[in-house]
Amino acid sequence: MKYNEMKATVNGTTCDGRKFTEELTFTLIPPKDNNHYGTGYYMNVKQETKDYPRQMVDWVDVRYERTTDVEILASRWIEGHYGKNAEEVTKWFEQED
């Protein structure tokens, strides 16, 4: 399994009552050298939704989150981004070929 990458599906309702489903991919980006702060990691978040024609990408600084566990970091991001609008979250790791 790719433990630096996790996928998730978020189902919920927007503030104006519309149902939504978004597919997310969380990828941890390790530091390139030993000259960094905190863990040195960043996280790339790719969002795909059928309501928006292009994939949205967010670059997240997770150097000071005190973990490099992608599942914990993704859960924090989902909670911060969607809040109570996320009604059902499914997370999984894909198998490597």
Residue 80, judged by CB atoms within 10 A of its CB (0-12, 13-18, 19+), counts as exposed
Positive or negative, the CA dihedral 70, 75, 79, 81 is positive
DSSP labels, 83-97 = GGGEEEEEEE-PPP-
Amino acid at 44: N
Task: Say if residue 97's pLDDT is above 90.
Answer: no
pTM, full prediction: 0.89
CA 52 to chain centre: 18
Calculate what percentage of the chain has a pLDDT beyond 70.
95
37-41, 69-73, 76-80: segment of lowest average pLDDT? 37-41
54 vs 65 pLDDT, higher one: 65
**Residue 53 confidence (pLDDT) above 70:** no
**Range 29-53 average pLDDT:** 88
